[in-house]
Amino acid sequence: MKQTRAAATTLDALLAAPLPPLARFRGRDFVTDQAYTRDELLDLVKLAIELKSLRSRKRLTPFLSGHHLGMLFDDPSTRTRVSFETGMTELGGHAVYLRPGELHLPGRESVADTARALSQFVDALMARTQTRAVLQELAEHATIPVINGEAGDYDHPIQSLSDAMTIIEAGGALEGATMAFLGNGDCMCDSVALTFSRLGMDVTVATPAEFPLPDAVRVAVEDNCRAWGTRLVVTDDAVDAVASADYVYTSLWWWEEPAEYVAEVRRRNRHLQVNRELWSRTKPGARFMHCLPAVRGDEVTDEIIDGPASMVWEMAANRKHLQKAVVLALIGIDELPNDPDLRPIGRALLS
């Protein structure tokens, strides 16, 4: 059945609305944003915008004094690691960086026992894993909230939800807007399609035939679209994909594969490169998005990523604010802070 939401999701509307009750987030996992309603996701974005505003006035907002965040990374990271760690410090807490090989994981201790052990020491665990199965296993056995910092074979929802914050901050309404993703049907493609369809946007996905949007993701996105009366369009035609898009999103075409694979993917994906010629086919006012890191000259050219339509550095900056909101809402607080500046958010966290 088609749902409706009276309140628009413009920045003005979010700023005008009071902070919603947030205690209902306490103790939950953020393994997938599909476990959250659209209103809940927007409540987290609202909290992130309030925390960002507070941060512009106060460097330290110690809601989580004495709390710890574990950060388990199977894969390297610049943005995710540093934004979670600095965000946790700003919240008055502490983050612990954990690398397999330095833990007993993998091999000498199971994922389940690792989750049980870490639950004794930290208040929440953020994990970047190569597979969604490991992330789900951590969540199943941990007694603390587990947050998806990217499941390499499935999704990266903390990135795409912070991207929604960036769109809203830039003055864009989600309703009636179209998000187009160009590139491989990888975890970033999945997340863009899942998150923005959940938030009520039309979604277009342009992938090479060899690396399509996975069927399970397509089904979930179509369910979201049915709920809001929006559309998922799947194509391999980049010009068609960008023609009606308000936002054009791309991500890496390759990671650590051998040189022969890289040469093949460059040939295969050439038509999906976001460059000056493709950009000339976009609507006036269209914005460019990339989760980073980027390989300039592959999925995007310099004049686009560095050009006036690009939002990439705002996107990177917002990772910290959105993640602070998620960590704070999931860990929660027991007492109203003494600092009057922290009290409005504190009251929402307790209600």
Binding site for ligand CP (CB under 6 A): 77-80, 150, 159, 291-293
CA 130/CA 303 separation, integer angstroms: 32
Nearer Cβ to ligand CP, position 141 or 290?
A: 290
State the minimum distance, in angstroms, from the CB of residue 255 to ligand CP. Answer: 10
State the minimum distance, in angstroms, from the CB of residue 79 to ligand CP. Answer: 4
State the minimum distance, in angstroms, from the CB of residue 281 to ligand CP. Answer: 26
Nearer Cβ to ligand CP, position 123 or 150?
A: 150
State the minimum distance, in angstroms, from the CB of residue 306 to ligand CP. Answer: 18
State the minimum distance, in angstroms, from the CB of residue 98 to ligand CP. Answer: 15
State the minimum distance, in angstroms, from the CB of residue 322 to ligand CP. Answer: 12
Nearer Cβ to ligand CP, position 158 or 232?
A: 158
Nearer Cβ to ligand CP, position 136 or 159?
A: 159
Distances in Å between the Cα of 216 and the Cα atoms of 1, 14, 190, 213, 223 are: 21, 32, 10, 9, 11
Nearer Cβ to ligand CP, position 52 or 79?
A: 79
CA dihedral (7, 11, 45, 316) in degrees, to 10, reads: 150
State the minimum distance, in angstroms, from the CB of residue 175 to ligand CP. Answer: 26
Nearer Cβ to ligand CP, position 3 or 78?
A: 78
Nearer Cβ to ligand CP, position 150 or 246?
A: 150
